[in-house]
Amino acid sequence: MSVDTLTDTSITVNISPMGGRQIMGGRQLAMLDVTSAVACCAPVAESDLSEAEAEATALLFKALADPARVRILNVLATQTDAVCGCDLEEPLDLAQPTVSFHLKKLHDAGLLDREKRGVWVYYSLNREAVRRLSGVLRFDRRGTR
């Protein structure tokens, strides 16, 4: 896990490689890079779920905690090829800036891959993220990762 930490006697600042930052007086927070949320997820039924794994799993759930983002995943999951961000406005009935905002959140969580083609950006599901995410809520398999 890639984390940079700066500590002062009264303030702790954690800066992730992608520019995210948390400041808390006297308390150090774990900040994960964009791929850590997906890479660190363990099944919630895991007997030795660490605090870092719980935080990473919570970050994934936070990224999925919006109906528009779930719908974006649904659209991408039903396509065989990458989809241009501009083609998501109509099926989602959302304005371009809103679609871009949600795509960025999903990409930052490690759930989407993006490819720039000229002026357009095409999105697809990150298959490794989908594989890991599919096992997060499995309660029937204890002790497997």
The model's pLDDT over 67-113, given as tens digits with 9 standing for 90+, comes to: 999 999 999 999 999 999 999 999 999 999 999 999 999 999 899 99
According to the model, what pLDDT value does residue 112 have? 95
Alpha-helical regions (H) of 1-109: 36-39, 51-63, 67-77, 89-92, 96-108
According to the model, what pLDDT value does residue 43 have? 64
Q: Kindly state whether residue 95 falls inside one of the protein's structural domains.
A: yes
DSSP 53: H
Q: Are residues 114 and 56 in the same domain?
A: yes
Calculate the dihedral angle through the C-alpha atoms of 126, 128, 130, 136, rounding to the nearest 10 degrees.
Answer: -140
| For residues 43-64, average pLDDT | 79
Who has greater pLDDT, 30 or 92?
92
- Number of domains composing the chain: 2
Q: Kindly state whether residue 141 falls inside one of the protein's structural domains.
A: no
- Provide the mean pLDDT of the chain: 73
Model confidence at 139: pLDDT above 90 = no
**Closest by CA position to 37, among listed 129, 134, 115, 101:** 129
Q: Are residues 82 and 125 in the same domain?
A: yes
* Token pair recorded at residue 116: 């720039």
Q: Given 3-state DSSP classes, what are the helix, strand and coil percentages for the chain, each rounded to the nearest 5?
A: 40, 20, 40
According to the model, what pLDDT value does residue 105 have? 95
Q: Is 95 exposed, middle or buried (0-12, 13-18, 19+ CB in 10 A)?
A: exposed
Show Cβ contacts of residue 82 under 8 Å, excluding neighbours closer than 6 positions. Answer: 113, 115, 122, 123, 124
Range of 6's domain? 1-31
Q: Is 88 exposed, middle or buried (0-12, 13-18, 19+ CB in 10 A)?
A: buried
Residue 76's CATH number? 1.10.10.10
Model confidence at 35: pLDDT above 60 = no
Residues 106-138: tens digit of each pLDDT? 999 899 999 999 999 999 999 888 887 777 776
Q: Are residues 50 and 113 in the same domain?
A: yes
Q: Are residues 27 and 94 in the same domain?
A: no
In the block, tokens 């109509």 appear at 90
- The 10 Å Cβ neighbour count of residue 15 is 15
